[in-house]
Amino acid sequence: MYGRDILQSGAWSIRCAIGRSGRTMHKKEGDGASPVGEYDILSWRLRAVVGAPRPCAPWRATRETDGWCDDPAHGAYNRAVVLPFPASCETMWRDDGKYHAVGVLDYNVRRRAKRRGSAIFFHICDDDYAPTAGCIAIPAREMRKLLPRLARTTRISIV
């Protein structure tokens, strides 16, 4: 059953989705696992939705040309890129709503290592809590409640 994992935020406990391969202490690109550890939310990408809450942390509106490089052989590995992009990358402008609110976690970002995993985000999941590719995700209704309460110093722990 999906959604057995819990995101704790103060006194709140929120069911969440994690990577399809569970958790790992030895993250590798493409393994589908969520990396164990505690991570800062470096920034947010938000899809322009009227009346949507905003976080206290730095954020900017998602653009149709936003991407995130997941090609370990490229110099922009695990970095934001502009589409079209010559290497493998994830499109941040998605039609399924999962990236309407995306917190960029400091997993392999400030201290980057090739093939250690990329695009580890905190984002929205469907109501069935289907596994992610390694991210942490909660339903949109929970994100709407939580997002304006997150401080600049909020950290995500994967245990």
Mean pLDDT in runs of 10 for the chain (159 residues)? 75 91 97 95 86 82 97 98 98 96 96 96 96 96 90 87
Print the domain residue range for 47. Answer: 5-158
What is the helix (H) or strand (E) element at residue 141, kind and residue range?
A: helix 140-146
pLDDT of residue 50: 60
How many folded domains does the chain comprise? 1
pLDDT of residue 1: 54
pLDDT of residue 17: 97
Phi, psi of 101 (to 5 degrees): -140, 115
Q: Give the count of beta carbons closer than 10 Å to the beta carbon of residue 81.
A: 21
